[in-house]
Structure formats: C-alpha cells, structure tokens
Chains A and B, each alone.
Chain A
C-alpha cells in the first residue's frame, strides 16, 4: 500500500470501519438534547445582525420606490405564477424511535420522516414501479401535546418534476407504539415515476406534515425476471449477492445470467444464480428467488439475458450516477 495518489488515499480512508453511538448512547444523548428545551441558547451582541437589520430597513424603503417607478412601465408583463405544488419540501430525515424515558423500545431499523412528528418504517430504498418495496409500510405519528391522532390518515405523493399527484395510501390510525402517539400499517401504491416525491400526510383534510424522498429508477427487467438492482445504480464494477426474482413454475435450481457487450464483441460472461427461495404472491403468481454475483467490466450498452429472454442495459461509468 504505497504511492497512493490523493484520490486513492481518499478512497482508502473510506475503507476505515465506520463508528456510531450505540442505541443506548443515542437515547441518552437525545434525552440530554430534549432537556435543552427548558434553557435558552446564549445570545450575544452581533454586529452582523445589526448590519443585516440595517440592510432590511434599507430594502423596505427602496423596494416601494423601485416598484412604483417600474410598474408604470411594464404593468402588462407582470404575472404571478403558482408552483407551490411542485416545490420540493425538506428531505426526509433518518431517525430511530426512542421511548422517552428509559431508551427502551427502539424500533428495529431506521425510520424516515420528521423526527417527533412523522416516521415511516419502509424499504431501504424506494424504487419506481415496484410493489414489493412499498407492500408493507408502518407509519408512526407523534403529537407535541401527546394528543392521540384519530381517524384516517391520507398520504399523498407529488412528483416534484412533473407535478403529478397521487394518493399513495389511506390508513386507519390506532394507538401509538415505540413511543409514538398513533400508528398505522399500510401499503403504498407503487410510485409511477423515479425522482423526488413530496409526501403529504393529512388527517381530516388537514395537512400535518410533509417531507420528500428520492425514488430510484425501476429495477432491471429481463423478460419475466427482475434483477433487483435499480437501473440508475447499474455501473461498471462488481455487484455481490444480487437478487433475481423469476416468475414461473418448475424453474431450475440454478440459472445463468449472461452479459454480452456488442460494442467489444468479446465472448459473453456467464454468472450462476442459485435458487434461495420459492413463494406464491397474493395474486397467486409463483415466484422463485435467486442470488448471485455480477461483474460489469465496463460502461456502455450491454445485453443481459436469463432463461432465453434478454434486454438491453446501459451501464454507467463508475461514479457517474448515484
């Protein structure tokens, strides 16, 4: 490990094991932060604030003057636009539900949403056109006044880029768990598009909170098979323990996934995928789940095949896409 360049050194340092506080330590720290509520942050004179205030006063004086002097000239061009429904709301934050007093009852895994307000226990990543990842979603709600939310929770999604709004779920609320004040279990309607979605949570027509999530492009399809990798994540490199879901009956215990790059004309590469599970979906379809490793040697247009079915696949350059 010698003569590493700056970038190689940065990459090497990324290999260092990551550390975080334990759940108990996090619980203790959150308790400590919550105890700040009774205190006030220190306030000192800050000349920058005075300068900012002076600038605001100046703007307040200047704006009406400028407005009056310009509106006469171009009243016809003045238009207002309403883009509120398409503006991105703040990102969802990842957090854990921690019971207030003793730090017990940690929910396994992470929630996303607005801490102390709305949390969703959902998939690790949101994938467009995928019903698996949104089949089971738990929603937890907190209320500042500890008043239990009652009724039906409506969850609406708005695709920021297109403005498309869809109802994702309607959930009857019940008593709180994991320190929350109410919760409900539901499934979302699959997201129809990739991109940023604003999720709005409404009870009796009243919006109780909004946050945004990133929905990735759909999984790679190969005929009746689905490679459980988002097309936007497929880039040159090695992918380990990739899942392949195949619909059908009497499927073999092992299938080959073939990768062929027509641009280079090199011999196709074969990757064995081994069956790890069989199950029947709620709609009666029989499914087999396989697992294997894949190596995309280079970026470009590739053909991916499995069980005599194939599809074209664009492999991005390493680091091109996230």
Chain B
C-alpha cells in the first residue's frame, strides 16, 4: 500500500482522536491547519514509522509536536510584536473558548488542567482526552509507564486541590 493511501486510511480512522486532542491541547476549535500538518508530517515520516507500532500513539505524538511548534512560533512572533509595540509581554496560553465546553464544572476542570505545570497537563490530556493507556502515554512522552502513573496521580491530586480552592473561593464571595 502506498504511503498516501495508508495515511488516508489513518485519517479516516484517527481524525476524530487527533482533532479532539488538538482542540483541548490548544484550547481552540480552529485546529484544521494543525490536523493537516499532522498528517503531512506523518506522510513525510512514513518511512521511519515502525509498522508494528501503534498508529494512534504515533499520530498523537506528531500532533503534540505540531501544536507545540505552533505555540513556539506564536511565542516568538508575540515577543517581536511586544518589543515593536512596547507593550507588556503576554504569555501565550490556550484560550478557553466558551464553545468548547458545555457544563460549568467541566469548564472549571479544563481551566484547572490548563493551570497545571506542563508535564502534569501533558499527562492528563494524553490519558484523559486522547484516552491513551499508561504505556501508550509513556511512548508519546518518552517516559516509563511508572513515571506516567506517578505523574498522573500527582496531577490528579493537584487538580483536586485547585478545584477545592476555587469552590471555597466561590462560596466565600457567593
């Protein structure tokens, strides 16, 4: 099977997983370019792909790198823009668009996830949103499965603390 045919089959099979992961990774629904870039990179790297490996894990790795590169580029552009306009530097953060989430408690949870430190956030999005196993997450992050489990445990603890804090804050002002 030609590389392009294989990539097209993977697109049909994994597009929803890739799109969904990118939407929550970036905080924006406008991820079409990133999805296309992901499959373009997959095509370019097709000859390096170990065909006994997990296709979804490989594509999620590419999607994550694509999104991270995009953020880096935006970060550089933002720095140039800030210097030129002499405005205070703004940290580029994923936008929590109203349209992404339906319920308040989910929005609160998503907000808390975005406040986590990067490796906690990574592991939560890969385990919870991309629905990868500990082993698959380890493959994406280049960690051991044990490290994934420990980090996920700590991330959950931190999320619980953050959510508890925001609830108490809500009660004190409400």
Q: Which residues of B, 21-59, contact A by the 8 Å Cβ criterion?
A: 23-24, 29, 32, 35-36, 39-40, 43-48
Query: Is B72 engaged at the interface, CB distance under 8 Å to the other chain?
Result: no
Query: Is B116 engaged at the interface, CB distance under 8 Å to the other chain?
Result: no
Known: A14-B128, A16-B24, A42-B44. A94 touches B106 (CB 8 A): no
Range for the number of chain A residues in contact with chain B? 35 or more
Q: Contact between B8 and A25 (Cβ–Cβ < 8 Å)?
A: no
Known: A20-B15, A36-B3, A42-B45. A2 touches B8 (CB 8 A): no
Q: How far is the CB of A28 from chain B (nearest CB, A)?
A: 7
Q: Which residues of A, 1-17, contact B by the 8 Å Cβ criterion?
A: 1-6, 9-10, 12-17
CB<8 Å pairs between A and B, sample of 10: A1-B108, A2-B163, A9-B124, A15-B103, A16-B128, A17-B102, A29-B36, A36-B4, A37-B2, A116-B8
Q: How far is the CB of B7 from chain A (nearest CB, A)?
A: 5
Q: Contact between B19 and A20 (Cβ–Cβ < 8 Å)?
A: yes
Known: A16-B24, A33-B39, A36-B3. A1 touches B19 (CB 8 A): no
Question: Cβ of A82: which chain B residues have Cβ within 8 Å of it?
Answer: none
Q: Contact between A42 and B128 (Cβ–Cβ < 8 Å)?
A: no
Tell me the complex Cα distance, A9–B106, Å. Answer: 11
Closest to A144 in B: B5
Q: Contact between A13 and B47 (Cβ–Cβ < 8 Å)?
A: no
Q: Interface of A with B (CB < 8 Å)?
A: 1-6, 9-10, 12-21, 25-26, 28-30, 32-34, 36-37, 39, 41-44, 46, 93-96, 115-116
Q: Contact between A46 and B48 (Cβ–Cβ < 8 Å)?
A: yes
Question: Cβ of B32: which chain A residues have Cβ within 8 Å of it?
Answer: 21, 25, 28-29
Contact of A94 among B5, B12, B103, B160 (CB under 8 A): B12
Chain B positions 139 through 172: 1 when the CB is less than 8 Å from some CB of chain A, otherwise 0: 0000000000000110010011001100100000
Tell me the complex Cα distance, A2–B70, Å. Answer: 34
Q: Contact between B11 and A36 (Cβ–Cβ < 8 Å)?
A: no
Query: Is B80 engaged at the interface, CB distance under 8 Å to the other chain?
Result: no
Q: Contact between B15 and A21 (Cβ–Cβ < 8 Å)?
A: yes
Query: Is B101 engaged at the interface, CB distance under 8 Å to the other chain?
Result: yes
Contact of A1 among B24, B46, B128, B163 (CB under 8 A): B163
Query: Is B86 engaged at the interface, CB distance under 8 Å to the other chain?
Result: no
Q: Contact between A32 and B40 (Cβ–Cβ < 8 Å)?
A: yes
Q: How far is the CB of B163 from chain A (nearest CB, A)?
A: 5
